[in-house]
């Protein structure tokens, strides 16, 4: 079962204005629903009802249903991302822990109630309706995990490779450097970003935090990816935003969850006032995943949201292939 959860916003701030969903713009003004948005919502409701009614008979069917339920949960949180972002920013991370067996939707409803003065009546209805849907999805997920233990940890198949675009390295002047840092891993060992990236043909950098539901859900997938990358001279590296500045309590909580999920790849922290720390504080969405080549260059756009869906996995693999091409070019 999930150890802890908090609201996760699944769309970066720079993408908010491109969403055809009800929310708020950067000036706090309400963005009205479009006809297409309503049609999408109605379609999603029908799909959720159908998924909730499904009764898998095998572990594979349960794993497939688990992924579809999580995809619906992610979609709910991304549909009105500007509103969920405000809820996320109002949450107290020190009070956000939910013990095993707790329902993420109940937590969302409680968090929304605590921040209700920040929203209009229409916005509150959108948020509460979404949280209620999440509660139903979480209830189904809990039943699945009881009947089919481990169904939420089953990684996708190995055949998710997509060739890099034209298989050629990207020109140096088209690349952006990942912010440099001198930090430590969660065991206290020194980590230098330049050395870290130089040791790998590709490094997948995953930003997460301990009580982010989609973040924790994808840890097993990232561990499987790390093992695959090891054969190609690559690695996954995690950055838990709660652990910045070496917060001992946050580090202990992160290590506990990583251990429960069987994660072996390196997780690091650094000072919040460093270039990498400022970069991290500018993230509005979790999980967010970057792909970095051997020279410390960011390849392509970040993967926003969990990598567990087939589309996200394909996009990530394409960036990985491109990073390897850059490193060997």
Token couple for 50: 């159908």
Reported as a pLDDT band with limits 50, 70 and 90, residue 84 is: confident
Closest CA to 218 of 276, 286, 285: 286
Instruction: Output the pLDDT for position 175.
Output: 64
CATH number among 3.40.50.300, 3.30.420.40, 1.10.340.30, 3.40.30.10, domain 165-328: 3.40.30.10
Please tell me the predicted confidence (pLDDT) of residue 46: 87
Average pLDDT of the segment spanning 323-327 = 89
The chain-wide mean pLDDT, for the chain, equals 77
Assigned token pair, 327: 């490193």
Please identify which residue in the block is written with the tokens 């916005």: 123
Q: How far apart are CA 95 and CA 16, in angstroms?
A: 28
The tokens for 283 are: 């993230």
pLDDT value at 30 more than 50 = no
- Tell me: pLDDT of 9 over 80: no
Residue 295 above 70 pLDDT?
yes
pLDDT in tens, 124-149: 999 999 999 989 998 998 899 889 88
Tokens of 107: 């937590």
Taking Cα atoms as reference points, which of 97, 84, 92 lies closest to residue 124?
84
Mean pLDDT calculated for residue range 1-11: 34
Residue 56 pLDDT grade (very low, low, confident, very high; cuts 50, 70, 90): very high
Q: What is the pLDDT of residue 162?
A: 30
Domain boundaries, the chain: 13-147, 165-328
pLDDT score for 269? 97
Q: Is the pLDDT of residue 33 over 50?
A: no
DSSP string covering 141-157, please? Answer: HHHHHHHSTTTTSPPPP
User: Between β-strands 23-24 and 30-31, what pairing exists: parallel, antiparallel or unpaired?
Assistant: antiparallel
């Amino acid at each position: 079962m999930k150890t802890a959860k908090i609201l996760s916003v699944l769309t970066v701030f720079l993408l908010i204005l491109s969403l055809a969903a009800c929310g708020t713009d950067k000036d706090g003004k309400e963005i009205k629903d479009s006809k297409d948005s309503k049609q999408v919502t109605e379609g999603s409701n029908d799909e959720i009802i159908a998924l909730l009614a499904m009764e898998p008979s095998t572990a594979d069917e349960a794993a497939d249903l688990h992924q579809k339920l999580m995809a619906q949960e992610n979609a709910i949180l991304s549909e009105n991302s500007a509103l969920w972002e405000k809820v996320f920013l109002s949450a107290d991370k020190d009070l956000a822990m939910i013990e095993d067996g707790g329902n993420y939707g109940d937590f969302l409803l409680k968090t929304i109630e605590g921040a209700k003065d920040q929203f209009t009546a229409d916005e509150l209805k959108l948020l509460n309706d979404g949280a209620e849907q999440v509660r139903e999805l979480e209830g189904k997920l809990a039943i699945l995990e009881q009947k089919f233990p481990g169904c939420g940890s089953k990684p996708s198949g190995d055949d998710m490779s997509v060739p890099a675009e034209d298989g050629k390295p990207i020109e140096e002047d088209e690349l952006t450097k990942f912010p440099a840092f001198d930090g430590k891993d969660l065991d206290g060992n020194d980590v230098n970003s330049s050395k870290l990236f130089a040791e790998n043909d590709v490094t997948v950098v995953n930003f997460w935090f301990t009580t982010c539901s989609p973040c924790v859900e994808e840890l097993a997938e990232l561990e499987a990816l790390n093992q695959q990358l090891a054969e190609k001279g690559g690695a996954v590296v995690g950055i838990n935003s709660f652990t910045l500045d070496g917060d001992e309590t946050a580090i202990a909580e992160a290590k506990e969850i990583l251990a429960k999920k069987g994660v072996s790849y390196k997780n690091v922290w650094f000072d919040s006032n460093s270039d990498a720390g400022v970069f991290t504080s500018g993230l509005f969405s979790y999980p967010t995943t970057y792909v970095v080549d051997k020279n410390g260059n960011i390849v392509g756009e970040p993967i926003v949201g969990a990598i567990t869906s087939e589309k996200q996995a394909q996009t990530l693999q394409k960036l990985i292939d491109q990073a390897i091409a850059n490193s060997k070019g």
